[in-house]
Amino acid sequence: METDQLEKHSSIQSLIYHLTPGILVGTFYFLALKPVANMGYPSFFALLLAFTFILVPLELGFLFYQGKKKNGRYTLKGIISYQNSIPWWQYFVWGSIIFLIVGTIMTLFTPIDSFLQKSLFFLDTGHGFGIGW
């Protein structure tokens, strides 16, 4: 085991670290949805704003904070593991393999997708927000 590694955190901390960004992004999204729609932008724009102003600063801020705790200055050195690069040709190989696997899964799940769309999404498209999804 390397001495560079961060100490492990508890299950509760792990749960908080995983759920907090999503909760904050979701809250921002639903608060920004109506004003963004009133300005004439699609609802996806509210999600982009949430990523820009909540998710990226929160996650980078946390990583830099961990760097400050460990190294005494705001850095990512020793914080992000697995920084060894792979040969350039492997990007194409692995990208192609993943593309084929995902394409196969999406094709196989098409009937389930159709069933879920018909059975779960029967509500009015406005959902009370006054805009279409």
- Helix residue ranges, H only, 39-87: 43-50, 56-71
Q: Which CA distances in Å does 85 have to 4, 88, 90? A: 19, 9, 10
- Cα separation, 48 vs 14, in Å, equals 25
- Cα separation, 31 vs 26, in Å, equals 9
pLDDT at 127 over 80: no
Report yes or no: 39 and 26 within 8 Å, Cβ to Cβ. Answer: no
pLDDT band of 1, cuts 50, 70, 90: very low
Instruction: Give the model's pLDDT for residue 68.
Output: 92
pLDDT at 133 over 50: no
By the 10 Å C-beta count (0-12 exposed, 13-18 middle, 19+ buried), 73 is classed as exposed
Contacts of 21 (CB under 8 A, 6+ apart): 54, 55, 58, 59
pLDDT at 37 over 50: yes
The stretch 3-14 carries a mean pLDDT of 77
The stretch 103-119 carries a mean pLDDT of 90
**Over the stretch 65-99, which tens digit does the pLDDT of each residue have?**
999 998 899 988 888 877 788 899 999 999 999 99
pLDDT at 3 over 70: no
